[in-house]
Chains A and B, each alone.
Chain A
């Protein structure tokens, strides 16, 4: 069930009515949990077994950890291994098997052949998100950062809360779990702000991401027959497509949650206004980057164990982050590009010539180009294909790219809007004469966009 569908509107209307009717009873959390499971089961009800299993196990493990004399570390590792095994089997098994077969000449059966009861082997939607969310709960409890949640229903509602279940933001127990303890106060401002977020998200997805996809898909369908100019512009367009697509989902998720009185974390903060790669990662998929920072980078030693170790840690985190996005060498290469970029950025911080003061717009442009260089791996179907794209771009055999002018205008407008938002002129954007006509234009234009069958890119992760 996608946010931009009529089915979701009907579903959400029922959820809201139910929520309001149950607000004075303790069953409102049960209602949210039931709605979330219904939402998730809408894709495939087999998925429900996995999420219930993962939730139950982590709830049970933390309960065991609390017992006097419990071997906390052992329970923690059971939780981590369990979640990673789930992820590993459903997401990476075929990748590893095909690579092992390729390297050793063995003929190991694909994962689909070992599924029990004839079940179909497919990647459960959102598994990377909810396993990380559930895992963070056990780790935070182990570290003494949070108290144990005593109610299974509340904990299950936290893991499966439908607005953010399938594509984030990955919430921490510290932020979201307490919100299930008391019926949220739904103020008029929450409904207004939630609706604004939802409309902006809807516009990003239907009017911008889907539009950019038309050009990107056309060019990336067969990079070998596309010219350098088309590939360059398609890569720029993809950078925006993936931003629009993913941040749209987050906006809509935050909007839906806000209308219900819940506050979810900010996940994107105008990432293409970043003046360095490290700034980019503090603005892009914030809930995932902070997850990796807190649960991988810091435990590895972060930057506290010397320069060399810091670089290794950075590279490791980004390789893992690349693999989190998908089981393919292209994602690993994408992670490596960012890891190497950040390592270089760190290494150059103390080099004298890099301290020359460059105008911010130059830094923003360079950062954007570096990020785009990474997106080539992310979008390509194979490393070979990515190399073709690079070669073509740098060959300078450029012809008319036939890039839609209207798309250029729309992307350009968004970029200018974000740059103004990040500048001292930000206040102008809060003026009514800007916001109100803009929202009206967006709402009207939305009706002219096509929406049938548009999945979100991040669902595959």
Chain B
């Protein structure tokens, strides 16, 4: 398994996008930090400025997109380049191959989080020197509020990612899986107003996967409960259940694919 993960990381390290996309993310984080400072300088309190740090100056949203891209290509590229045969005919089982890809994505995800946190701390020191780590937001220190936000975002990322991986193994096409991932992630925010109304009318709709994408925000601000109609714990558990279901369907499809 270690060999397989090393090989996956080696392939990823040779791709230009592995470096270009994070650089673009860092540029966008810089732009966000500068823009927010210029636009809101007059009326903003230190607490508002702290909230931007908790969101890692939009970095968390970009991490989701980076992971949608990584997840949609990690399996489909093997089919598109014909390299899937080289991967599968070796001594390793399909289960090992797929799990090594999941683990590689997990490692990438953690690296991206570490990168955005470091950049955000750097940005905070440059642009918001009056925001300090001992400030409290929703009864949490600034740093732990940020970490909770990262963890919530981690769950959101993996709900989207597990869906993307499922679509990848079913359709073998990166364009399809990347579109589904983005539409799903985007759809959550676009449809949130409509969803709130729908959930009020049909209670069971609160269990739909789009609602789980609010888990990141609800971990931070528990009053989101009124919108999602689910307790934070229920949301976390339901998120894990969806991740497991999506991964399991993808796994089953990959394992039982009879013609490569």
Interaction A to B: no
A: which residues have CB within 8 A of B?
none
